Chain A
C-alpha cells in the first residue's frame, strides 16, 4: 500500500524532501530546510534527536519514499546525517 517512491528523484530532490519530512515529522517548528546542515550529525549533537525520533523518521521514510530502513545497529550509519539518509534512500529505491 505504498503511496510514494523515490524513483526518478535526483539526490537534491531527495535531500530537499527529506528535510521537509524531518521538520514535519519531528515538529521542528523553529527550523526551516535551510537551517538543517545536511552533513551534520542528526543525533546527540546537531539537531539533538534521539531513538524515538529515529523510529518516527524510519516510518516516515517508508511512507514518503517507499524505502524500509533497517533497525538496530545496522541503522546507526544510515541515520548519521541527512546526507547518509539520502544516499540510503537513493540506493534502495
Chain B
C-alpha cells in the first residue's frame, strides 16, 4: 500500500458479544400482553373473525385477526388524539410492557438511554387513507390537515419518543413483512457496534383498507381462516398488532441487576433478488440466511429445537420455506419442531417479525411450543419437519424465527436459553470505508468525481420541481417494466454507485442497499385508494400494490441488480439519507454484509409539497421541493486489502440521536475540514457548539439540488467528492430534523487506507 495512508482507527477492538432479551411486550389479536398471547397461542386459540374495522366490500375474504379491544383514546394524550393512529397506540402499549418487564422506567427523562428501532409498513394509513383519496383528486382539499401527521412511517416512532422519556433516539425501518425482524437486527447491530447498551426494537402495523384490498388484488387472501402448510391452504389471513423487545448487552443488564429472558444469539438478513412478490422456489436465499444465523450463533442445526415459521399459508411461501429449512437443517430437519402462528393471529405484516421473535423467546423461556392452528393434511411440499399440531411442553434450548418480505428480504433470528450454550467467541468490529458516491437529481447522474458541484450554491427556488430522468438512459426497460419512477431512480443510482466503487460484478451477490424514503410513495398510495374507493376492490391493481411500500423502490432495485445482501428502507423524516447511511455503517461494522449502498430517494409530490412537508418538517418551508436519489457505497474491511485500496474515505465516527448529542468519541477536525448539510440552518451552529466543528467551513446543497428529504444524500456525496479530489481531509456530514439527527465523520484516504 502506498504511503500517506489513514491513521490507525481508534475504535476497532474486541467488542461485547452477548445480547440479552430482558423485556417483551405484545399487543396481538389474541389479547394485550405477551404472556396472555403466548398462553392462548399454546392452547390453540384463534382470533380470526369477521372484519369489523371496515367493510371489505368486493373482496374474496371477509376475515381478519383484529385487535378488537383497542381504544386509541385510552393510550393517546387527549389533545393529540387526532394525530395518533391505531398502529401508534398498539406500539406504545407493547413497548410499555417490554420496558416495564425489563425494569426500565418508561417516563424517566434521565438515566438509562434507550435507542428505539421501529419496523413498520403502513403506520397511520387506516386513519389517513380517505384523506389521501380526497387529496389525489384535489391536493388543496385537505381538512383536517393535522390528521396527516399520523401518515409518515416514522410517525409511530415519533409518538413513542413523545411518550417515553427514556428514549434517546428513534429510527424506522421497512422491509414489508420482515420489517419487525430487521428492526431487531438493527437494534442488535447498534449494541454490538458499541454505540448503545440498551435498545427497544420491534414492529407495529394496524389493519387498513389499502393492504386488505392490495393482498386481495394479489389473490393472496384466503376466504377461510388461513391453513399454513396444509394441502388445502389458499392464502393468508391478515392480522394486526405490535411487539417490542428490550435488547441489551449482558454487561448492561448485569449492572442493572436484570435477568435475561433469552439470549439473542444469532441473526442474518439477505435478499433473494428473484421477484417482487414471488418467493424463490428453491428457498436458496432463505436457507443461506438461516445458515448464517446459525453460524453467527455458533450453533449446529441439531441444537435448534424449534422454528417459528413465516408460514403465511400462501401456496408459494410455505413450500419455499420448508424447502429452505430442509436445505439448511439437513438431517436435523425431521426433528425440528416447526409452527406458524398465522392461523391464530393472522399475518401482522410489519409487526410479524417482532411478534414471532417474542413468541420464540417465550418458547425457550417457558419450554412450551405453540401449534400451527388450521393445519389439516400436510402438503407433500411442506413435509419433512416436525409440524406441531397441538401445543407441547418441551424444553427448547434454541429457537429460530424467520420472516420474508416483498422483494425477497429474508431474515432469520435465533434466540437461546441463557446459559444453555457456551459463550460465543469474541469478534472485532470491522472498519468501514466509503468507496463511491452517486446522485441522480436536477444535474443528472453524478459520481464522486463530480458530485462536488452540488455545493456551488444557487437559488433553491430555481431548481426544477421534477427532474429530467429518462429511465431508458440507465436501465433495460424490459427488465425494469415493473419498476415505478422512484424504483427506477433508486436502481439507476445504486447501479451507478456500485459500478463506481470498483466492486466487481461477481460481488453483487454480497451487496445490499438501504434506501430511505421519508414518506413512501404517497401519491401512488393516494391514487390506489381513490381507485378502489371509487370503482371497487376488484379494480385495485395487483401489479401496483407491491410498489406502495416505503421499501418498494429498494426491493425492486435488489431484484433488478441481483443484490444478495441486506435490503430495506429506512424512513427518518428530515434526515432520511443520513439515517440509512448510519444504519449501513452499523450493520457492516458488526458483520452483516460486505458492501451496502445507502442513501435515499424522494419523488416530486403535490401531497408532500402541500401537506406532509410543511406539517412534518417545518424548517424546510413551503418552497419547491424538487426530487432525487443519492447513495454512498460503504464497504467493510474484509482482510484482503482490496476494499482499502479502493477506499475514498474511512468512516471514523457515526451516530444517531435526538436533540442533544454527547459527541462521544467524535474526532476533532484535522487539516482541511468541512461540515456538510442539506440546508444550513441556525440550529446547526447551535448544535455544533462545543464539538470542535463549530468553526469549520460549512457546505450546503439546497441551492443546487432543491429542498427535498433526500438532499442530505446529495450533501454526503458532495463531501465524498471533495475528499476524493483531495480538497478536504475530513468531512462531517450531518442530517438535521426537528426530532432526529444523524451524522458521519469521513476521513480521506488519499492513497488507500492503512491496514
Residues of A participating in the B interface, judged by any CB pair closer than 8 Å: 1, 25-30, 50-53, 55-56, 59, 62-63, 71
Contact B542 A59 (CB under 8 A): yes
Contact B481 A55 (CB under 8 A): no
Given the contacts A1-B535, A50-B278, A62-B538, A56 and B543 also touching, CB distance less than 8 Å: yes
Contact B482 A59 (CB under 8 A): no
Contact B539 A59 (CB under 8 A): yes
In the assembled complex, the Cα of A50 lies from the Cα of B276 at a distance in Å of: 12
Nearest chain A residue, comparing its CB with the CB of B471: A29
Report if B277 contacts A (CB, 8 A). Answer: yes
Contact B542 A1 (CB under 8 A): no
Contact of B541 among A1, A51, A59 (CB under 8 A): A59
Report if B536 contacts A (CB, 8 A). Answer: yes
In the assembled complex, the Cα of A25 lies from the Cα of B541 at a distance in Å of: 9
Contact B481 A56 (CB under 8 A): no
Residues of B participating in the A interface, judged by any CB pair closer than 8 Å: 217-219, 275-278, 472, 477-478, 481-482, 535-536, 538-543
Contact B539 A56 (CB under 8 A): no
Contacts of A62 in B (CB 8 A): 538-539
A-B pairs under 8 A by CB, number: 45
Contact B478 A30 (CB under 8 A): yes
Q: What 10 A-B pairs are tightest by C-beta distance, nearest first?
A: A55-B542, A27-B481, A56-B543, A29-B477, A56-B542, A30-B478, A30-B477, A52-B277, A63-B539, A55-B219
Given the contacts A59-B217, A62-B539, A28 and B278 also touching, CB distance less than 8 Å: no
B536 → chain A, closest Cβ, in Å?
Answer: 6
Nearest chain A residue, comparing its CB with the CB of B544: A56
Contacts of B478 in A (CB 8 A): 28, 30
Contacts of A53 in B (CB 8 A): 543
Task: Please list 13 pairs of residues, one from A and one from B, whose beta carbons are closer than 8 Å in the complex, sorted by A's number.
Answer: A28-B478, A28-B481, A29-B477, A52-B275, A52-B482, A52-B543, A53-B543, A55-B542, A56-B541, A56-B542, A59-B538, A59-B541, A63-B539
B165 → chain A, closest Cβ, in Å?
Answer: 46
Nearest chain A residue, comparing its CB with the CB of B542: A55
Known: A29-B477, A52-B278, A63-B535. 10 other contacts (CB 8 A): A26-B543, A28-B478, A50-B278, A51-B278, A52-B275, A52-B277, A52-B482, A55-B218, A59-B538, A59-B540
In the assembled complex, the Cα of A83 lies from the Cα of B482 at a distance in Å of: 24
In the assembled complex, the Cα of A28 lies from the Cα of B476 at a distance in Å of: 11
In the assembled complex, the Cα of A55 lies from the Cα of B541 at a distance in Å of: 8
Contacts of B536 in A (CB 8 A): 1
Nearest chain B residue, comparing its CB with the CB of A51: B278
Contact B539 A25 (CB under 8 A): no
Contacts of A27 in B (CB 8 A): 481-482
Contacts of B275 in A (CB 8 A): 50, 52
In the assembled complex, the Cα of A87 lies from the Cα of B535 at a distance in Å of: 26
A4 → chain B, closest Cβ, in Å?
Answer: 12
Contacts of A50 in B (CB 8 A): 275, 278
Contacts of B276 in A (CB 8 A): 52
A73 → chain B, closest Cβ, in Å?
Answer: 12
In the assembled complex, the Cα of A55 lies from the Cα of B278 at a distance in Å of: 13
In the assembled complex, the Cα of A27 lies from the Cα of B276 at a distance in Å of: 15
Nearest chain B residue, comparing its CB with the CB of A71: B219
Nearest chain B residue, comparing its CB with the CB of A25: B543
Contact A55 B539 (CB under 8 A): no
A44 → chain B, closest Cβ, in Å?
Answer: 14
Contacts of B540 in A (CB 8 A): 59
Contacts of B219 in A (CB 8 A): 55, 71
Contacts of B472 in A (CB 8 A): 29
In the assembled complex, the Cα of A52 lies from the Cα of B538 at a distance in Å of: 15
Contacts of A55 in B (CB 8 A): 217-219, 542-543
Contacts of A26 in B (CB 8 A): 481, 543
In the assembled complex, the Cα of A33 lies from the Cα of B477 at a distance in Å of: 17
Contacts of B542 in A (CB 8 A): 52, 55-56, 59
Nearest chain B residue, comparing its CB with the CB of A58: B542
In the assembled complex, the Cα of A51 lies from the Cα of B314 at a distance in Å of: 14
Contacts of B278 in A (CB 8 A): 50-52
In the assembled complex, the Cα of A53 lies from the Cα of B472 at a distance in Å of: 22
In the assembled complex, the Cα of A55 lies from the Cα of B477 at a distance in Å of: 21
In the assembled complex, the Cα of A30 lies from the Cα of B477 at a distance in Å of: 7
In the assembled complex, the Cα of A63 lies from the Cα of B531 at a distance in Å of: 12
Most buried by B among A27, A52, A63: A52
